[in-house]
Structure 1
Amino acid sequence: MNFVIDGIRYHIKYCREEGFPLILLHGFTGDSSTWLPFCNKLTPQAKLIMPDIIGHGCTESPENVNVYQIEKVAYHLLLIMDQLKIKKADILGYSMGGRLALTFAIMFPERIRKLILESASPGLETEAEREQRRLQDGKLADFIKKNGIEEFANYWGEIPLFHTQQYISKHKKSVIRKQRLKNNPIGLANSLLGMGTGSQPSWWDDLKYIQHEVLLVTGMLDKKFCRINERMKKRIPLSQLVSVPNCGHAVHVEDEEKFGTIVNEYLSIE
């Protein structure tokens, strides 16, 4: 299904027609299809809605980097919910999708019932940190535009953040790589420049104002994001943190069964 939102064509996948809406937001270089192997692990009481975030998958990849700002993309998500006549939803976001989900929750709290953040962060706290990250992301964006998707996919699959994925099956690795190769280089580059961690606002000081329930999920082997999420838990009033053994950054990829159980149990609690 496609919607034109603020002049941009968004692609959205559905899984199930009935149930309380659960919006799944993928990470950088992913798309809605990355959730499909995980869908049958989720409660049948959830209606699954999986958009391709701007610059990814079958959603358009505009040349104008300004439309990739994370607050604008959160507003696009609001308009998608309006188009689908969804007044309130649960939202699950992974990594970049988690930062987008958190941004949405801060901007439009009345539209969320429960929030699930997998390996996410509220951004960087100081301008010096953000400037340094913008420089790094700018170099990586230039690399993508200069060398193309295939060479970037080779590089991205080998970064330390994903080293724990060496243990997943060859088939799963192949599926992930094929999906990454379908992305548009302009879309990925502009995603880094427009909604990268260095480009978004810091939400650290806003965490204490979040009034709905929040589940934080990390892989125990992802030490950096375990530390970040331990700090987040202390600031978000109605939050809980689950760290999954033998997993790194992408828990839903590395242990689908365990991640599905965690999400289902959390969503079933009234």
Structure 2
Amino acid sequence: MNSNINGVNYYYEWLSDYEPNRQTLVCFHGFTGTSQTFAPVFQKENDINILAIDLLGHGKTDCYVHPYRYQIECLCQDIALLTERLGIVDFSLLGYSMGARAALAFACLFPKKVQYLILESGSPGLESKAERMRRKNSDEHLAGFIMSHTLEAFVDKWENLSLFDSQKRLPTKIKETLRNERLSQSSFGLACSLWFMGTGVQPSFWQALSDIEVPILLIVGELDFKFQKIAKKIKTNKPDVSIKIVCDTGHCVHLEKPEIFSNLVHTFLFSYPNR
């Protein structure tokens, strides 16, 4: 389904039947992903409304829009308007990788709308200006590669990053589905996402962590050492967060261990009866 938010068509899909008397979980995919990445994860859920959204530049959501619309603050404002239009006053929020950055930003910008926050392989951003500048240059270089090569050449390059080594062990059918999802993207949309919403240009939300009052769950793979380190640093800054490290799993936990991931999410969302 599509909804026009201030001139931008956002694609969203209910991955479960919607019932107004139960809580809603809104899902943000990662870079090169779409809302469909979560479809296999929540097939058996029947007590949560699952709403997945294609973020700007990805999937069936518009990509040819003004660059400022890609900025993470503008994206969050669009999502706030979209959920309001759907009649959802507040909800839980799940984000994977790039989507985790967007989910954390949303929780900081619209704290009264978020009930629970789940970050899979996520980061609050880079703390120093020098780190952000280095990453900005790296993101711009990758965006340039995307625009000067075929999408297939970029996907080949992307899939061979060490971050995704563990995905090579996935069943052939799942790997084919994942590759087709990446190949379905718009080169322009991916490049704009890097240029205007990449880690290098995103504000750092490290200092804002202490202001988030809702329960937070961090999910990270045992083989994803970089994001394990980030998760542990987040917990050092905010001791009340929960961390779940999933054994023998890399960056994309929800694809590599969908049943375990689903159980972790479900357990977390129902572990605070007083809320």
Percent identity (aligned) = 39
Structure 2 residue aligned with 1:80, among 59, 79, 82?
Answer: 82
Structure 1 residue aligned with 2:213, among 206, 211, 214?
Answer: 211
* Contact 1:38–1:260 (CA under 8 A) maintained in structure 2: yes
> Which residue of the partner structure matches residue 35 of structure 2?
32
Figure out how many residues of one structure are paired with residues of the other and give that number.
269
The 5-angstrom pairing of residues 95-244 of structure 1 reads 95-244=97-246
Residue type at the aligned position of 1:105: A
> Which residue of the partner structure matches residue 18 of structure 2?
17
Give structure 2 stretches of 5+ with no counterpart.
Answer: none
Secondary structure at the aligned position of 1:93 is classed as strand
TM-score w.r.t. length of structure 2:
0.96
Residue type at the aligned position of 1:263: V
Residue type at the aligned position of 1:29: T
CA distance in 2, matches of 1:244, 1:168: 16
TM-score w.r.t. length of structure 1:
0.97
Residue type at the aligned position of 1:103: A
Secondary structure at the aligned position of 2:217 is classed as strand
* Contact 2:8–2:65 (CA under 8 A) maintained in structure 1: no
Residue type at the aligned position of 2:39: L
CA distance in 1, matches of 2:195, 2:258: 31
CA distance in 1, matches of 2:2, 2:120: 26
Give structure 1 stretches of 5+ with no counterpart.
Answer: none
Question: Residue deviations 1:109-129, cap 9 Å, x none?
Answer: 000100000000000000100
CA shift for structure 1 position 237: 5.0
> Which residue of the partner structure matches residue 8 of structure 2?
8
Residue type at the aligned position of 1:189: A
* Contact 1:94–1:119 (CA under 8 A) maintained in structure 2: yes
CA distance in 1, matches of 2:144, 2:167: 26
* Contact 2:34–2:58 (CA under 8 A) maintained in structure 1: yes
Question: Residue deviations 1:184-221, cap 9 Å, x none?
Answer: 11000000111111110001111111111000010010
CA distance in 2, matches of 1:111, 1:235: 23
Give RMSD over aligned pairs: 1.0
CA distance in 2, matches of 1:107, 1:263: 23
Residue type at the aligned position of 1:32: S
Residue type at the aligned position of 2:87: K
* Contact 1:211–1:238 (CA under 8 A) maintained in structure 2: no
Secondary structure at the aligned position of 1:90 is classed as strand
Question: Residue deviations 1:121-158, cap 9 Å, x none?
Answer: 00000010000001000010011011121111111111
CA distance in 1, matches of 2:109, 2:71: 14
> Which residue of the partner structure matches residue 267 of structure 1?
269
Secondary structure at the aligned position of 2:150 is classed as helix
CA shift for structure 1 position 63: 4.8
* Contact 2:28–2:53 (CA under 8 A) maintained in structure 1: yes
